[in-house]
Amino acid sequence: MRCVEPDMHLSHPVRTLLLASSFLLASACATTKPASPTDIDTLEAQLPPIPARLGPLHLKIEYPAAGSIRPPVDSTFLFGTTGSGAARLTINDQHVNVAPNGAFLAFMPIPADGTFRFEAKLGSRTATQRFTYAQPGPPVPSEVATEMLVKFTTPQLARVVAGRDTLDSGSGIASAAPTPDGDRRWFFPIGSEVVLTGQLGSLYRIQLTDSTEGWLDTSTVDIERSGGYRLAPIGPVRILPQAHYTDVTLPVDFAPFHINAQVRHLDLTVYGRTRAPGSITPDGVVKRAVWISTSQDSSQLLLDLNEGLWGFKAFYERNGDLVIRIRHAPDIDPDQPLRGLHILVDPGHPPGGAIGPTGLKEADANLNISLRIADMLRERGATVLMTRQTPEPLVSDTSASIELLARVDTSVALNVDLLISVHNNAFPEGINPFKNFGTETYYYHAFSAPLAYELLREIRSVTGIPNLGAKKRSLALVRPTWFPSTLTESLFMMFPRQEAALRNPDFLDRLAAAHVNGIVSYLQRYLEFSRN
């Protein structure tokens, strides 16, 4: 797994906040040596010992779950419990370590017949189980693989009429990717005009410039007419500061755009339009506004800021003007940085989530940590909101995607200052857990990266397990742009000692305190950075 380093090609102000704390980057990328099962005790030494359990023999397999279809991998992990730390366990005649509480974790090749034979012994008693994978059905070809690209003889101008993502929560956003199965790169609000040049199944191919194309869902746009963009110059750019934000307005007549949000600047590309004439007068948090490049089919505007970027929104006015709303940072007291801040704590899951060998659900562990975080934040003066405070999900719909959208919409509707989504980790099939576990954090926008690094440093000081880094990832809870947001993955649920730690009240208190300390450290560094 690759750690995230600051881009050395960025301008000096953009690098400053990341590079000023170079020890964070060193700690985020320091641990690269793979572990082995014999290393686990050493790597987990900072975690509390597993309480001993000497109950009756009780062989229970938590994973793979009953009825699981054989995965397309050579090896898999298996975990569960024997009921007693004194039990001896073999899987397919291979010895497997049993933790003091009876929990176990193994990583083994999948036999040709897909069957694992478990045998646990305790004194004169023996317990056995067999697990056999269900065989997968015939492969279902993906639509992208089976459909043929239909090229349009004439480009079609379409308008975004639907969609939902997190660039500007509260309005519809249609996302587009550079390839049919690629990650999101562009976020187009309702009203955007895009040029369609072909169709591949349920995706339209869009042409942004002569050399830039993307793909978006056909359900998000309506075709209006044949032909390309109405190529025209952008009107005069206006900058208007308000009490809590500064609006930068560009008359672009619904042209599509892309925003690259960095730590101290916004880089805006408008497609199908040429640059506005004349200079731009900076105001509010905008220190400098300059057109840095232009071509026949796109223009690029750089907005340098007087302070670190706290958040932004992008939307169209009814007349087609594009508004970039740059959020002002909240008032931060250097001595009591949490006082007065509105912070949303999101206990990740349900639905879904990982599970541990003794049956601890990630959703429950996340909630136990988050409730402690909320109490500690309130004690230090913050106003804390939570997406849930009970084991139930936010919405009754069982769809994970609906649940995620509801959490994101809640965060922006509440107009919070920060978002922390609390999780614990699991692996996909085929990954050797003994060689890949560790603590990590996630962000999406560069201005949230310092928050992710500070949280990573503090959390890892408590977990002590390998450092997997702060990583950029397109996750729903870190894509919002209106505030810094990050997602934490403290421990891996499938490891007996890590699962046991998540049941330990003293450890949960220390883990929650690490989250709070990470937020405080980020706020202090933000103040230092914005003063320079």
CATH number of 149-226: 2.30.30.40
The two tokens of residue 229 are: 């963009």
Q: Are 307 and 245 in contact (CB under 8 A)?
A: no
The CATH fold assigned to 232-327 is: Immunoglobulin-like (2.60.40)
Give the rounded distance of the alpha carbon of 7 from its chain centre: 20
pLDDT number for residue 411: 86
pLDDT number for residue 405: 80
Which part of the chain is CATH 2.60.40.3500? 232-327
pLDDT number for residue 332: 96
- In terms of Cβ atoms closer than 10 Å to its own Cβ (0-12, 13-18, 19+), residue 44 is buried
Dihedral angle, C-alpha 248, 252, 253, 255, nearest 10 °: -110
**Maximum average pLDDT range among 164-173, 239-248, 390-399:** 239-248
E strand or H helix that includes residue 400: helix 400-413
Cβ-proximal residues to 124 (8 Å cutoff; 6+ apart), any chain: none
Task: Place 444 in a pLDDT band, splitting at 50, 70 and 90.
Answer: very high
pLDDT above 50: residue 475: yes
Residue 299, SS3? strand
Give strand pairing partners of 425: 492
pLDDT number for residue 145: 57
Mean pLDDT over 396-404 rounds to: 77
pLDDT number for residue 11: 34
pLDDT digit string (tens) for 144-156? 556 789 999 999 9
Is residue 393 reached through a cis peptide bond, with omega within 30 degrees of 0 on the bond before it?
no
pLDDT digit string (tens) for 413-431? 889 999 999 999 999 999 9
Task: Place 482 in a pLDDT band, splitting at 50, 70 and 90.
Answer: very high
Mean pLDDT, the chain, integer: 89
Task: Place 170 in a pLDDT band, splitting at 50, 70 and 90.
Answer: very low
Give the rounded distance of the alpha carbon of 26 from its chain centre: 22
E strand or H helix that includes residue 371: helix 362-379
Task: Place 393 in a pLDDT band, splitting at 50, 70 and 90.
Answer: confident
Mean pLDDT over 244-272 rounds to: 95
Task: Place 103 in a pLDDT band, splitting at 50, 70 and 90.
Answer: very high
What are the distances in angstroms from CA 240 to CA 167, 248, 280, 326? 21, 7, 12, 10
Give the rounded percent of residues in the chain with a pLDDT score beyond 70: 89
- Among 57, 59, 54, which residue's Cα sits nearest to residue 128? 59
pLDDT number for residue 73: 97
What angle (nearest 5°) sits at the alpha carbon of residue 452, between those of residues 345 and 20? 140
What are the distances in angstroms from CA 6 to CA 44, 227, 316, 446? 29, 41, 32, 9
Which part of the chain is CATH 2.30.30.40? 149-226
pLDDT number for residue 413: 85
pLDDT number for residue 455: 98
Residue 94, SS3? strand
pLDDT number for residue 397: 67
Domain 332-426+434-531 has CATH 3.90.600.10: no
pLDDT number for residue 502: 98
Give the rounded distance of the alpha carbon of 427 from its chain centre: 15
DSSP letters spanning 407-470: HHHHHHHTT-SEEEEEEEE---TT--HHHH--EEEEESSGGGHHHHHHHHHHHHHHH-S-EEEE
- Is the pTM higher than 0.85? yes
pLDDT number for residue 1: 35
Dihedral angle, C-alpha 522, 523, 524, 525, nearest 10 °: 50
pLDDT number for residue 416: 95
pLDDT digit string (tens) for 260-276? 999 999 999 999 998 87
pLDDT digit string (tens) for 336-349? 999 999 999 999 99
pLDDT above 60: residue 130: yes
For residues 40 and 30, the model is more confident at 40
pLDDT digit string (tens) for 18-32? 333 433 343 344 343
Q: Which CATH architecture has domain 52-132?
A: Sandwich (2.60)
Q: Are 252 and 273 in contact (CB under 8 A)?
A: yes
The two tokens of residue 101 are: 């509480």
Greatest C-alpha distance within the chain = 89
pLDDT number for residue 13: 35
Which part of the chain is CATH 3.40.630.40? 332-426+434-531
Q: Are 511 and 369 in contact (CB under 8 A)?
A: yes
What are the distances in angstroms from CA 389 to CA 133, 343, 386, 438? 37, 15, 7, 27
> How far is the C-alpha of 95 from the C-alpha of 484, rounded, in Å?
47
> How far is the C-alpha of 463 from the C-alpha of 1, rounded, in Å?
19
